Amino acid sequence: MLKFILRRIGASALVLLGASLLMFFLTINSGDPLKDLRESNDPNREQLMAERSERLRLDDSPWERYWDWLSGVGGCFTGNCDLGVTINGIDVLGLTQQAASSTLRLITLSTLLAIVVGVALGILTAIRQYSGFDYTVTFGAFLFFSLPVFWAATLLKEFAAIQYNNWIAVGQYAPWTIVLVAALAGFLLQAVLGGSTRRRLATAAGVFAFVAVMLFVFNALDWWRNPMFGIGGVLLVSAAAGVLVTALTAGLRNRRVLYAALTTAVVGVIAYWFTAPLLVDEPTWLLLIGLFVVAVVVSVAIGAAWGGYARKQAMLVTGITGVITSFVVVADILIAHWSDFLGLKSRPISTIGSQTPNFDGEFWERVLDMGTQILLPTILPTLVSVATHSRYTRSSMLETLNQDYVRTARSKGLSEREVIVKHAFRNALIPITTIVAFDFAALIGGAIITEEVFGWTGMGALFQDGLNAVDPAPVMAFFLVTGIAAVLMNLLADIAYAALDPRIRR
């Protein structure tokens, strides 16, 4: 396995070297970096042109300029990283650090959401092939995949930001809206669950009644502006997550794993009760990361203690349950601070920028501000990627489900969960990993449009400014970050291949 990884790293390094050479020469030959000064009437024009020529080393050969850039990048391995300066003399390394953190935060979140939602939808549509749910998801996938990014961004700005900000000022749903939302929820859930006509009608009626009652209750409690969740809600959601993860991985008949998952949820809620003063007041990111690590370690230890003969499965289930419980705890704290956040920012969903200027809230209000700023730029690429992942997952799952070994597994009397999770899904993952790797690179490239529409200062702005000015340093910084990220994702895909199918290692 180590030799396999080293070979992939060597090949990736050669790919980056060749691509960087091509990118550099394309950039420096894309225009004239002195064009604006040649057309200027400034009396110091000649002096300014000489300074810029010296700064960009225009008198040197392209090969010398490329070698100078490559040497600066090589210094990053010894702690002397030098990515050059922009056409205006600004250090590119500092600009890259700010832009990379912004873009990678956006793209990483979009990718994770797209993988989870897209793969789940793909599996469900493969299982429910040619059902109403399958046709609905297929139509939605093709619709989102074909939407122009800039037009979808405009729609999100209008309905998910402007109209929502107008509504949250009152925070009350009209009765006809409640009826419409409840009817839509009932229709969608009965399509997902399927069954006979009688069962579908019962599901739709039950969901309609439940959603309608809950929305009326939320209106009466002014929940949308003053939401509450509480310890009981955290316990309920965490326990439900533990049951769901157990059902998908080990099966509910495995009582040891189920009890381990429920124990993890209970221990997580108890820990939340005792650590609430540290979390609610004014925590730090270091404290949150430390508590998260402790939560995962304790969760895995609970699985090891409960597991018995199914120890590995129990540790996996409790680890996932612990992670979900941690996120539910953070969500509860954020919900509790929502009303205070609305007091500081009456129109919470922003359409421009990555942060609110001069925002003076406390820790959790600042987290909410960052979350609302990143919300729309995250949703946009996620919708496109979900369409891609769901289609490829569906196709791969259908191909796998028709294989002889799947029919053999069913003929042996294995449960449908074991057939889907242990036999079909594992083998269907091999082509999906390729799509995830390429999609991550495509998202980075597409982020240029997303960042432009939402005024998000990231790698896209760095690339565009450098290209417009025929300035190779920012463009090459963009390539360095995005190229390494794309190659790294492909390397992870290769490693995932080897883990899923050991034959690929050879």
pLDDT tens digits for range 259-295: 999 999 999 999 999 998 888 878 899 999 999 999 9
Residue type, 200: R
Is the pLDDT assigned to residue 142 strictly greater than 80? yes
Average pLDDT over residues 359-371: 88
C-alpha distances (whole Å) from 51 to each of 348, 372, 468 are 46, 43, 19
> Strand, coil or helix: what is 460?
helix
Q: Are 443 and 107 in contact (CB under 8 A)?
A: yes
- Tokens standing for 52? 């810029």
CB-based contacts of 394, cutoff 8 Å, min separation 6: 121, 122, 123, 125, 126
**C-beta atoms surrounding 133 within 10 Å:** 21
Q: How much is the pLDDT for 209?
A: 96
Q: How confident is the model at residue 504 (pLDDT cuts 50, 70, 90)?
A: low
pLDDT of residue 129: 85
Domain 1-169+349-506 sits in CATH at 1.10.3720.10
2: pLDDT strictly greater than 80: no
CA 457 to mean position of chain CA atoms: 18
Per-residue pLDDT band for 5 (boundaries 50, 70, 90) equals confident
User: 484-496 burial, b if ≥16 CB within 10 A, otherwise e?
Assistant: ebbbebbbebbbb
Average pLDDT of the chain is 87
Token pair for 376: 């729309």
State the pLDDT confidence band at 506, using cuts at 50, 70 and 90: low
Residue 159 has pLDDT above 70, yes or no: yes
Q: And the tokens for 71? A: 């040497």
**Residue of 293, 291, 300, 298 whose CA lies nearest to 319:** 300
What pLDDT, on the 0 to 100 scale, is given for residue 413?
A: 84
CA 359, CA 388: separation in Å to the nearest integer? Answer: 37
Mind listing the pLDDT tens digit for each residue in 188-247?
888 777 778 888 899 999 999 999 999 999 999 999 999 988 889 999 999 999 999 998
Q: pLDDT-based confidence at 304, cuts 50/70/90?
A: very high
What confidence tier does 505 reach under pLDDT thresholds 50, 70, 90?
low
Q: How remote is the C-alpha of 285 from its chain's centroid?
A: 20
Structure tokens that stand for 201 in this block = 């009608």
Of the segments 42-51, 148-157, 169-178, which one has the largest average pLDDT value?
169-178
Contacts of 385 (CB under 8 A, 6+ apart): 110, 111, 114, 118, 439, 443
Residue 297 has pLDDT above 90, yes or no: yes
Asked if residue 4 has pLDDT above 80, the reply is: no
CB 490 within 8 A of CB 420: no
CB-count exposure of residue 98 (10 Å: 0-12, 13-18, 19+): middle
- Label residue 438 by pLDDT band (50, 70, 90): confident
- As a 3-state breakdown, the chain gives helix, strand, coil percent values, each rounded to 5, of 80, 0, 20
Q: Which residues contact 82 (CB under 8 A, 6 or more apart)?
A: 71, 72, 73, 75, 93
60 vs 54: CA distance, rounded Å: 9
Between the alpha carbon of residue 139 and those of residues 153, 184, 399, 467, the distances in Å are 20, 17, 21, 38
Predicted pLDDT of residue 210: 95
Q: Which of 39-43, 295-299, 373-377, 488-492 has the highest mean pLDDT?
A: 295-299
The Cα 451–Cα 352 span in angstroms is: 9
474 neighbors 83 (Cβ within 8 angstroms): no
Closest CA to 439 of 119, 17, 12: 119
Q: What is the pLDDT of residue 305?
A: 92
pLDDT greater than 70 at residue 1: no
pTM of the model: 0.82
433, 441, 434: which is closest to 484 by C-alpha?
A: 441
Q: Tens of pLDDT along 450-498?
A: 888 888 878 888 888 888 888 899 999 988 888 888 788 877 777 777 7
Residues 384-402 have a mean pLDDT of 88
Where does the pLDDT of residue 503 fall: very low under 50, low under 70, confident under 90, or very high at 90 and above?
low
Gap between the Cα atoms of 247 and 305, Å rounded: 20
Residue 24 CA to residue 471 CA, distance in Å, equals: 10
The mean per-residue pLDDT over the stretch 73-92 comes to 83
